[in-house]
Structure 1
């Protein structure tokens, strides 16, 4: 039996007046998810362990079956795994955003966590320039994708910086950066790196990126082998390094799709083709779409609703059609909520549907947050959802 795990990042939301009291998931046309819900099991899953921040790093690690409370070291280390970086055990790996701030002082505000969704072609020269000008034996700038990059601090895991609390930039859009600057100031060397980068980005730079933002730091990541743990050969398909890093760290196949952007406009068809091609020989495909999350962070009601519609029409639908008549276990969910009114992640338990031959049908007419809550089915620990689905399918005893 094949297993398809489809994740629409940040799809969950709260009711909105602008949508007549509906969520974007309720407002979007989702006939394929609705059909799978009618003949599947629908419920809620708590993807964020108590006391942990509701990030995609924590939530997707859980969805892949690994307990974040045990294995999570930070967001930066996951993305370093995606790049196959050779790291020492005492390295501290920071996720590094190129951001737009109003001003880099105590009166400044975070204006854009993505520098206007800067492209990789625009951002890579900036990061490479920062490495030439500022990089040294302690701090190394590593280019990534779009606004998402890395800063390696040699020996940093042995310092107080490992416990430094910095807000993810997408959590503080249009909010003060005062407390974060106060935290950075506890390390004069890091402080100098940040302010020197700010000065360099002001020179001959046509993009909106005017500052760097190190956050999500931790030691190098180690995960159990996915195939040994679940007795399945698996692959991840995503535009973002975070998901790729989880795949690399757990020994899964990581499939790159040309034209996959992590935005509303992405290569949906390419992701579908990649999943189908892999499942000719593999057992498990984890297909991740970032679009709903990015629209949630942007506070874009219409675009988020459209991102969900496209997920259903251009991913779920074509996969259902291509696999019609075959024994398939479907798991569909989001990793966390990204409510429009908050413009950041929350810890709400996410709606999910598990559909496999022989499961007890829910009989629900629609798949959304409200109907998922109505069933009373709750998976209390996110890393148990995959096992729950495999047991329902008879793959695990």
Structure 2
């Protein structure tokens, strides 16, 4: 319709134009050249406009499912934030002006002038806000190609073809890196200076930042001892309630509804990495977080010091002692470099992590992570015999190595002086190491490549710190932050806000992880869960005060704040559950959208928020949009 209408108008204009034979006769050659140039200009602009319209259509087709789960509130003028964002789109402005030009019965020169004005407006909009171009092209390039790859990966996993799934995941990672080329090509097409994915952070440096507070295990269920309230409802959290009251709220399934996920897969999802594509076991994360370097071909385990009865092979306690900080480093030092008689070409490295945990890395030829672990997952069950999960020489060799390693660890620990002292003191010996979550290092785009934000992470737990290091986040070590009940919560908040708002302006994305609430859920300790929720709220109050002062001092300063969790750990269950977690998003320096009617931060109130219920992979796009608005 657009093309035919334009041709009809052009014909009408041509018919209505008065002849000027005398001028044409005097300058026939000049007129011919001008007509040719005008036609060429019109054709070029029409071709460009059609390309932009096609991109707009494909972008809309691919973006609709992406945004369907997150609905921003209605604004005062009656339009939703999503529709307003659409009208602010550079392509939308160009198309609107071009449509006006095509339907206005004027001369060809006037139509071309309007098209040129629209193009200039388009270029000016992108120069003022280049992240709009990045966001639009990100969705365009991530559309059909990435969706098709994800579908193929899921199909391969369903039929058990792990090798094919890995090949496709590597292809998906390569496509992710290809977004830079797509952005550069579109900039060249629009005659703009070269724009990379990092230019978004350059545009917002010192102005717009993101503070992400993740409370591990925050979600819970109704507790009879609290009059059927959750610990979050029972806790005194005025600062979290303030964010909920002034911001926008919802319920978040960290990976997908109905999945009781682990912290590692949840963090991958929340940070924009599909765990079905990138997750290869938590062992590599734990070991890297503990300080063990990983190279291609290595395998690593997230490991527990446990208590086992050798005569029966029963694991009596999966955690020999949660308060293991004084003994763990000594035991790990003695186990580091342990020899495997049947595998002289392989080396073993052991390093203490936190509490009862340690990282174990094996390096040598023909290793694979396609094996089971030795952890029975429950107390008073037999130690699991490691087996291959695929029919390959590497898997069979690796499973044999792991079983021998488990025996060697037991022999070294059972006669260790520390364990003899524990037995004499009536304490359970730490005579076994449970090898779990075998994994190899994954190759993924960094956070800066994926989101265009320079980020750092405060996460004293090794598994989360290792995950952050894997995806290119700067790991900030905070004195007093231990990742357990002894952690200094306030020190984490102070260090995070100092680093985020520092004068050198190196970072625009702070990610703060707090573990103690999850430990309380696992220990079924109701009082500790409430206590740490309240400690976190006090820390959050200090952070908000600093962020507001920054926005008042810096012209145009805006800091988006997100508070949520990675999963629920109800005190009644003592383990992770599939209940969604509350999420609230607020911005220091002024909210770009109206607040909803939620007045408290908890599991029930969040269900009435304007964000609705959505999956974890939607949170970073939402936060980036909020930060850019």
In the alignment, is the contact (CA less than 8 A) between 1:74 and 1:219 conserved in 2?
yes
Measure, in 2, the Cα distance between the counterparts of 1:39 and 1:376.
12
Q: Determine if the alignment matches structure 1 residue 346 to structure 2 residue 577.
A: yes
In the alignment, is the contact (CA less than 8 A) between 2:281 and 2:438 conserved in 1?
yes
- From 323, 336, 360, give the equivalent of 1:131: 336
Alignment CA distance shift 1:82-1:19 (3 Å): same
Name whichever of 107-116 and 294-303 sits farther off: 107-116
Max radius of gyration: which structure?
A: 2
Measure, in 2, the Cα distance between the counterparts of 1:330 and 1:47.
18
Alignment CA distance shift 1:298-1:139 (3 Å): farther
In the alignment, is the contact (CA less than 8 A) between 2:255 and 2:616 conserved in 1?
yes
In the alignment, is the contact (CA less than 8 A) between 1:10 and 1:334 conserved in 2?
yes
- From 309, 316, 323, give the equivalent of 2:540: 316
User: Per-residue deviation at 1:330?
Assistant: 0.7
Structure of greater relative contact order (alpha carbons < 8 Å, 6+ residues apart): 1
Alignment CA distance shift 1:4-1:92 (3 Å): same
Alignment CA distance shift 1:132-1:217 (3 Å): closer
Q: Determine if the alignment matches structure 1 residue 262 to structure 2 residue 466.
A: no
Q: Determine if the alignment matches structure 1 residue 142 to structure 2 residue 350.
A: yes
Name whichever of 46-55 and 202-211 sits farther off: 46-55
Q: Which runs of 5+ in 2 are unaligned?
A: 1-207, 389-395, 423-428, 552-557
- From 378, 381, 394, give the equivalent of 1:177: 381
Deviations 1:152-205 (A, max 9, x none): 23358755x6241555x7x52xx3333x52446984442232233223222211
Measure, in 1, the Cα distance between the counterparts of 2:598 and 2:524.
29
Q: Determine if the alignment matches structure 1 residue 10 to structure 2 residue 217.
A: yes
Tell me the SS of whatever aligns to 1:256.
coil
In the alignment, is the contact (CA less than 8 A) between 1:91 and 1:157 conserved in 2?
no
In the alignment, is the contact (CA less than 8 A) between 1:107 and 1:176 conserved in 2?
no
Tell me the SS of whatever aligns to 1:393.
helix
For 1:50-61, what aligned pairs fall within 5 Å after superposition? 54-61=261-268
Alignment CA distance shift 1:16-1:142 (3 Å): same
Measure, in 2, the Cα distance between the counterparts of 1:158 and 1:132.
18
In the alignment, is the contact (CA less than 8 A) between 2:246 and 2:586 conserved in 1?
yes
Deviations 1:123-144 (A, max 9, x none): 1221221234446643513203
Alignment CA distance shift 1:253-1:344 (3 Å): same
For 1:1-397, what aligned pairs fall within 5 Å after superposition? 1-49=208-256, 54-83=261-290, 85-101=292-308, 103-104=309-310, 108-113=314-319, 115-119=321-325, 121-134=326-339, 137-146=345-354, 147-154=356-363, 158-159=367-368, 162-164=370-372, 167=375, 172=378, 175-178=379-382, 180-183=383-386, 187-202=399-414, 203-205=416-418, 206=421, 208-279=429-500, 280=502, 281=505, 282-313=507-538, 315-325=539-549, 326=551, 327-356=558-587, 357-375=591-609, 377-378=611-612, 380-394=614-628
Deviations 1:42-74 (A, max 9, x none): 111111347976111111122222221121111
Measure, in 1, the Cα distance between the counterparts of 2:330 and 2:485.
25
In the alignment, is the contact (CA less than 8 A) between 2:245 and 2:599 conserved in 1?
yes
Deviations 1:246-303 (A, max 9, x none): 2212222110011111123212232122112211222111011100011111111111
Alignment CA distance shift 1:52-1:337 (3 Å): closer
User: Per-residue deviation at 1:319?
Assistant: 0.2
Q: Which runs of 5+ in 1 are unaligned?
A: none
Name whichever of 236-245 and 131-140 sits farther off: 131-140
Aligned residue number for residue 42 of structure 2: none
Name whichever of 29-38 and 55-64 sits farther off: 55-64
* TM-score after normalising by structure 2: 0.57
Alignment CA distance shift 1:157-1:88 (3 Å): farther
Tell me the SS of whatever aligns to 1:374.
coil
Deviations 1:217-250 (A, max 9, x none): 1121222111122121111012111222122122
In the alignment, is the contact (CA less than 8 A) between 2:300 and 2:439 conserved in 1?
yes
Alignment CA distance shift 1:379-1:80 (3 Å): farther
Alignment CA distance shift 1:106-1:346 (3 Å): farther
- RMSD over equivalenced CA pairs, Å: 2.6
Q: Which has the higher strand share?
A: 1
Name whichever of 242-251 and 180-189 sits farther off: 180-189
Deviations 1:295-348 (A, max 9, x none): 1111111111111111111x2111012222522211000111111122111232
Name whichever of 343-352 and 295-304 sits farther off: 343-352
Measure, in 2, the Cα distance between the counterparts of 1:134 and 1:16.
50
Measure, in 1, the Cα distance between the counterparts of 2:299 and 2:323.
26
Measure, in 2, the Cα distance between the counterparts of 1:312 and 1:349.
20
Alignment CA distance shift 1:139-1:45 (3 Å): farther
User: Per-residue deviation at 1:111?
Assistant: 2.3
Alignment CA distance shift 1:61-1:90 (3 Å): same
* Paired residue total: 386
